[in-house]
Structure 1
Amino acid sequence: MLKILLLVSLSVAFATEEDEFFFYGHEYRRTELGDAVDKASMRLLKDLYESSEEKNVITSPLGVLTLLSLYSTGTTGKVKEEIVKYLGLPDYKKMTESYSSLTEKFTSMNPDFLTMANKVCVASRYELADEFTNVATRDYHSEVQALNFTNPSEAARIINEWADQKTRGNIKEPVDKDTFPPETAAALFNIIFFQGHWHVPFEKTDTVDKKFHLSATESVDKPTMHLLQSLFYHEDRELGARMIELPYKEEGFRMVIVLPDAVDGLSAVLDKLAQKGMLEDVFAMSPPGQDVDIDMPKFEVKSKFNLKNVLVKEGLSSIFNQPAEEIVKGQGVEVSEVFQEAFVKVDEEGATAGAFTGVVLVATSLLSQPPPPLPFKVDRPFLYAILHQDIVLFVGTYTH
């Protein structure tokens, strides 16, 4: 029996300065897929935050969700049912149509700011099932390549070169020879890479050290950016948080900052968002009728996770112990391990985010006169997300 290994890696967050600014209204539309991705993303973030000793977390759930959708096309029975339920859409047909359309949309975007790419690799001694190959290439725009996984160093080199090229050098070595045991039969990979440009960059000369509260009793000095601008804003007393939107020059893309009311309120906010998602609050944002006076730390986060236990906790146990019979000809496959490596960097000029996701098959068992500015001081642990319209691309937490 074959097994599958999921890999997810996020790269850098940065952007270039733009002099001209114009403000996009909220002409976004909530969709069934957006809500499903949102809720799955918030649950995954909460689980990773709680299970990680390092509370600075960055993840791109969309890469995992996309590969699970692709994987499901070669499954039947309970395995397929669990994937459909986890992805949060009403049925298998709706799920695959939604992810196929999303893949079509993202793979056709200008690669100067968004790259989404899928790749299916099969071991030289195996063949992919014909229908799975058709679905992968036609519906998920996947490249298909035969690799000699019995030479794992060479297989890793080829995949790393692909990742390096697709992310313009921001993801260089997401895999190594140990990723591919001798019995590896096939691998599925996904890359999502976003480089955005703030509509209004933070002035570097305004960045100064300010206190960032780690807890009610501890604080550290952090290089803190400053911006005074009219932005979309929302506060939710039930959630216990306020949020702002920082738009990118690239139409439809935005970063949302969720600031808990309490210094130690991030965990409680995550608990609530894991239950309802964040889109309800995102779509409730509006101009507050006054400029927003923002202080926000520059930050850089890198995460690496094994996601197997998290996915089992979320109800995806069957993918690890029941075979998918319609991916590789004459051989059942099941998932062996799921892991993710991610990196994001945010500074005065903007943010860029990228993601590498892979699935390895192994032979084994996210105006009138204005009143005084509204202060928004990001001086405590917070949550952030990068979205395109209503689709969460990346989501994370920053705590120290």
Structure 2
Amino acid sequence: MGVFDSHKSFGKAILYTCSAESKDFFKVYESSDDKNVILSPLGVFTLLLLYAFGAEGQVADEIVEFLGAANKRHLTDSYRKLSRELSSMDPDLLAFSDNVYIDNQYSLNNSFILNAYSYNSEADIIDFRNPKSAAKTINEWVSTKTKGKINEIVSEDDITYDLVVGLYNVIFFKGHWAVPFDESETREHCFLTDDFQLIKKPMMHLLKSLDYFEDEGAGVRMIQLPYKESKFKMVVVLPSHLNGLSMVLRQISETGLLHYVNRMNHSEIVINLHLPRFEIKSEHDLKNILPKVGISSIFHGDAYGVVNEAPVSVDKAFQQAFVVVDEKGSTAGAATGLHITYTSLTPTIPFKVDRPFLFAILYDDIVLVAGTLSH
């Protein structure tokens, strides 16, 4: 049973944020010059929800509608279960943290801070009038949470004179394959890039029974790699056609990733898997992306319930994310920020991942990070 089995539309909304033409991920993919993309939909969702605690009217309505909930209370009650579960895990496996930085000339609304605390968020007073010191404090927090994988999410220039509150979320995951790849079997193989160039990539090899799904009509093939750590898994979606990644992403946008994951065969099918060893790092300006998926009021509408002294709106929204996949397992993470200013053994099936593909790391039915490798 998934965390959100009692709230299907809510869980579906989270999944859509990773894979949809109508949601974040496909917009990120389309707008990126570099088609090696990694994004944490859960990180984006978390900060939107945190901001919704202090918002009413159109600002709150857009967030609630985007996340597929009936109302704000439904949204927050469901998220509380997930937040507590993720926050209670071994930090060497999964670190899931929020922090609210409030400028020392302002004070947080009592209701807002109580809601934030109820979801295990941290809250700290900071002097945004000292940009160098403020940036250093925030970056040190992010670096600690991501084990040094993300060391600078903000610069001095990002700390503007009218900054009142900074909301930050960090997700860090380091999982180990249930059955590791044998490093001695890793070989250089050809990989056809998104611009139809043949390049050499180190391909890991595994011959094992894996959950498998194929839909010839949709042009989709999929395998699932379990991690040793319970409930975590990586899904690899391989287009049947050499240039089929965009089409696959569009189809997933209409159904959600779980539509395919839940149709996988739990059988003794032996997969002859060749998977690239890879590393991706991405930076995203979410202020350019969120309005395309229906979230625009946060950037100009007033939220009166965040701080006591003045209404606020979001000035900047951004995310850095990374993933490393090798023979032993995967390391992945993301840091997301909102800057808020006052208003202004049978026959084997070959599965050679030698073309652009989609991947996602899931905890149960929740997508932690999703990405594409195209070159």
**TM-score w.r.t. length of structure 2:** 0.95
| Pair 1:237-2:216 in alignment | yes
> Mean alpha-carbon deviation: is it higher for 92-101 or for 75-84?
92-101
Aligned twin of 1:41: 18
* In 2: Cα distance, 1:56 partner to 1:149 partner: 34
**292-301 or 161-170, which deviates more:** 161-170
CA distance in 2, matches of 1:307, 1:228: 40
Please, which moves more after superposition, 265-274 or 288-297?
288-297
Partner of 2:36: 56
Q: Which runs of 5+ in 1 are unaligned?
A: 1-26
1:375 counterpart = 2:354 = no
1:364 is displaced (CA, Å) by 4.7
Matched, 1:175 2:150: no
Q: How far apart, in 2, do the equivalents of 1:198 and 1:34 lie?
A: 25
Judge which range, 54-63 or 285-294, deviates more: 285-294
1:267-299: CA deviations, max 9, x gaps?
000111112111011011123432100001111
1:397 aligns with 2:345: no
Q: Which amino acid aligns with 2:216?
A: R
Distance in 2 between residues matched to 1:28 and 1:99, nearest whole Å: 13
Structure 2: tracts of 5 or more residues without a match: none
Give the AA of the match of 1:323: D
How far is 1:47 from its partner? 0.7
Code of the residue aligned with 1:362 in structure 2: it is T
Structure 2 CA distance for aligned equivalents of residues 165 and 40 of structure 1: 27
Correspondence 1:134 to 2:114: yes
8 Å contact kept, 2:47–2:338: yes
Task: Read off the aligned partner of 1:153 and give its amino acid letter.
Answer: K
Give the conservation status (yes or no) of the 8 Å contact 2:319–2:334. no
Q: Which residue of 1 aligns with 2:324?
A: 345
Q: CA deviation at 1:153?
A: 0.8
For residues 48 and 271 of structure 1, do their structure 2 counterparts lie closer, same or farther at Cα, with a shift above 3 Å needed?
Answer: same
Give CA-to-partner distance per residue, 1:184-236, whole Å, 9 cap, x none. Answer: 11111111111100111111111111111125953111111100011111112
User: Match for residue 3 of structure 1?
Assistant: none
Partner of 2:173: 194
Q: Distance in 2 between matches of 1:317 and 1:193?
A: 28
Give 2:312's aligned amino acid: V
What is aligned with 2:183?
204
* Aligned equivalents of 2:350, 2:371: Cα separation in 1: 23
Indicate if the aligned counterparts of 1:210 and 1:224 stay in contact, CA closer than 8 A: yes
> Secondary structure at the residue paired with 2:318?
strand
Distance 2:255 2:158 in 1: 36
Match of 1:89 in 2: 69
Take 2:369 and 2:206, find their aligned partners in 1: how far apart are those partners?
23
| Alignment match, 2:135 | 156
Shift of the alpha carbon at 1:237? 2.5
Q: Which amino acid aligns with 2:346?
A: P
Q: Given the superposition, is the C-alpha separation of residues 90 and 300 from structure 1 closer, same or farther in structure 2, using an over 3 Å criterion?
A: same
**Change in CA separation of 1:363 and 1:77 when aligned onto 2, cut-off 3 Å:** closer
> C-alpha distance in 2, partners of 1:362/1:178?
15
**RMSD of aligned C-alpha atoms?**
1.5
Structure of greater relative contact order (alpha carbons < 8 Å, 6+ residues apart): 1
Cα offsets for 1:242-286 (capped at 9, x unmatched): 100011010000000000000100000011111211101101112
Counterpart of 2:235 (choices 256, 267, 273) is: 256
Rounded to whole Å, the distance in 2 between the matches of 1:240 and 1:375 is: 16
- Any idea what the Cα deviations from partners look like across 1:356-376, whole Å, max 9, x if unmatched? 1222222351xxxx3221110
Going from structure 1 to structure 2, the CA distance change for 1:155 and 1:241 (only over 3 Å counts) comes to: same
> Does the 8 Å contact 1:253/1:387 carry over to 2?
yes
Structure 2 SS opposite 1:324: coil
**How big is the shift at 1:315?**
0.8
Partner of 1:384: 359
- The AA in structure 2 aligned to 1:150 is R
**Aligned position for 1:313:** 292
Post-superposition offset of 1:125: 0.4
- What is the distance in 1 between the residues matched to 2:102 and 2:338? 11
Equivalent residues of 1:183, 1:364 under 8 A apart: no
Measured in 2, the distance between the counterparts of 1:185 and 1:151 equals 13
Equivalent pair of 1:34/1:392 in contact (CA under 8 Å): no
Cα drift, residue 176 of structure 1: 1.5
- Aligned equivalents of 1:216 and 1:360: distance in 2? 36
TM-score scaled to structure 1, two decimals? 0.89
- Give the match for residue 79 of structure 2: 99
Q: Distance in 2 between matches of 1:378 and 1:254?
A: 17
Give the 3-state SS of the residue equivalent to 1:62 in structure 2.
helix
Paired letter, 1:309: N
Q: Are positions 1:297 and 2:295 aligned together?
A: no
SS of the residue 2:90 aligns to: coil
Aligned counterparts of 2:217 and 2:87: Cα–Cα separation in 1: 38
Return 124-133 or 355-364, whichever deviates more: 355-364
State the distance in 2 between where 1:82 and 1:346 align.
35
Question: What is the total number of aligned residue pairs between the two structures?
Answer: 369
CA positional deviation for 1:167: 1.8
Deviation at 1:28, TM superposition (A): 5.5
Describe how 1:108-119 pairs up with structure 2 within 5 A: 108-119=88-99
Matched residue, 2:339: 360
Contact 1:345 1:351 in 2 (8 A): yes
Structure 2 match to 1:7: none
